[in-house]
Amino acid sequence: MSVNVVPIGSRLTLRLNTGLDENMNPVFRTRSWSNLKPTVSNEDVHEIGVQLGSLQVHTIDTIRRADENELSSV
């Protein structure tokens, strides 16, 4: 069986290091932006993440991209 994949959208998530807890373990928070066009290159998404991260109070730990696809049988 063949499967047709249709890209729907993408989400950019920044994982920010907000400091340490009382046990000296790192504490993280996330900020997400959805509805990115699925055709945007990974390099562009990374650059957008870096630019958005520069506007945050805390430092970036990780930049993530999550793609969403619709699957249907052909």
Confidence of residue 56 (pLDDT cuts 50, 70, 90): very high
CA 58 to chain centre: 16
pTM beyond cutoff 0.75: yes
pLDDT, tens only, 15-44: 999 999 999 999 999 999 999 998 999 999
- Is residue 68 within 8 Å of residue 55, measured between CB atoms? no
Question: Taking the domains of the chain in order of start, what are their residue ranges?
Answer: 3-73
Closest CA to 15 of 66, 64, 52: 64
What are the structure tokens assigned to 30, written together? 């996330």
- Predicted local distance difference test score (pLDDT) of residue 1: 80
pLDDT at 72 > cutoff 90: yes
